[in-house]
Amino acid sequence: MIEYKLALVGFGGVNRALAQLIAERNEQWKTELGFTLKIVGVTDLFLGSVVGREGLDAGVLARLPAAKGALAQLPGGEVTALNEAVIKDSGADIIVEATFTNPVDGEPATSFCRWALEGGKHVVTTNKGPIALHGSELKALARRNNVAFEYEGSVMSGTPVIRLARQALAGSSMVGFEGILNGTSNFVLTSMEGGLGFAEAVAKAQELGYAEADPTADVEGHDVRLKVVILANELLDARLTVNDVTCSGISSLSLGDIEKARQDGARWKLIGAAQRHADGSVSASVEPRLLSNDHPLASVCGATNAVSFTTGLLGAVTVSGPGAGRTETAFALLSDIISIHQTRAHNQE
């Protein structure tokens, strides 16, 4: 039986949910997926770090109190986050990177990915910074070291979008996309339609694990801008940087604006979009748009996201599903590990 050894870098909502899934489902995965997962290291800025080469108890990790230095309670644990040692020396095959998204320079997560890839370890990540800001460098580094760099959860959480579009829509002559790509802001807009104030709705999204560490990134559109860059570069063969994407968020929308839209048979949605033009150039934007109720994206509510791809051969192809959430995003990490496993099996045929 194949067993992959994981080191978890960042142990917040998403990686803790992954530990919980491993605790509950490892036996089932043995028959269903043909592999099991063993956690050999965890490191987190707030919780400290621990290495257990023989395997750490995933259930114990999932139940760990959210207290400063809590990983030091475990045998071999430390109060400090020994990130470099855990990434390089815990004996992991796969580094599971889920630290804060830094929308400015992608650090320190980009360095964590570099250390792992240079050391011949696969990387799976839900962090948008390294891909949007340093994607081509990291992909090249992965290729040179013959390892995988997978990031399905960076766009629309556990809903399959990147791999689905890259594989199943290859050859469809994709020329653009538009979508609701941020769970927090869509949750806030839906909550405001129900009469909740902006600040209360943001606080609820934080409580539910949807929001970024700094929710300004969600409501001002910066998170969607990173996702637009990731999708455009991946699927439209664009070479966009964040500065190429015009960006405005939803913070200026009042309860009055939302009520007025309702009376007019419309809804405000934060839309991320990109379009390839006849001369080959790609333009992209993030902005609140007033959609009439019969628009396909108008009925997408709460933390649900949706993206509609414009293709030459099929017309519009729309994918909808969870856009945020701890377990939903942990599932994306599992899907990346399954992809690594399938590539390994394919290479051995």
Ligand X SMILES: NC(=O)c1ccc[n+]([C@@H]2O[C@H](COP(=O)([O-])OP(=O)(O)OC[C@H]3O[C@@H](n4cnc5c(N)ncnc54)[C@H](O)[C@@H]3O)[C@@H](O)[C@H]2O)c1
Give the interface with ligand HSE as residue ranges (CB under 6 A): 157, 182-184, 210-212, 218, 223, 323-324
3-state secondary structure 236-253: CCCCCCHHHEEECCCCCC
In the chain, DSSP assigns E strands to 2-9, 35-44, 48-56, 77-78, 94-97, 122-125, 149-150, 174-180, 245-247, 266-276, 282-292, 304-311, 315-322
Contacts (CB under 6 A) with ligand X, residues 22-61 = 43-46
Which of 38, 128, 227, 269 is flagged as catalytic?
227
- The amino acid present at 317, given as its one-letter code, is V
Contact track, ligand X, 135-174, x by CB under 6 A: ------------------x---x-----------------
The helix or strand, by DSSP H or E, that contains position 293, with its residue range, turns out to be none
In this chain, which residue has its C-beta nearest to ligand HSE?
184
End-to-end CA separation in angstroms for the chain: 17
Residue 252: CB minimum distance to ligand HSE, A? 19
CB nearer ligand HSE, residue 152 or residue 218: 218
Q: Indicate whether 108 belongs to the interface with ligand X (CB under 6 A).
A: yes
88 is catalytic: no
Residue 67 in the binding site for ligand X (CB under 6 A):
no
Among 329, 331, 336, 337, binds ligand X (CB under 6 A): 329
Contacting residue, 56, 325, 331, 333, with ligand X by CB under 6 A: 325
Give the interface segment with ligand X, choosing from 30-38, 54-62, 124-132, 185-193 (CB under 6 A).
Answer: 124-132
Q: What CA–CA distances, in Å, run from 68 to 19, 74, 82, 92?
A: 19, 13, 14, 25
- Shortest distance, position 194 Cβ to ligand X, whole Å: 21
Short-list 119, 129, 120, 190, CA closest to 154: 129
Active site residues: 227
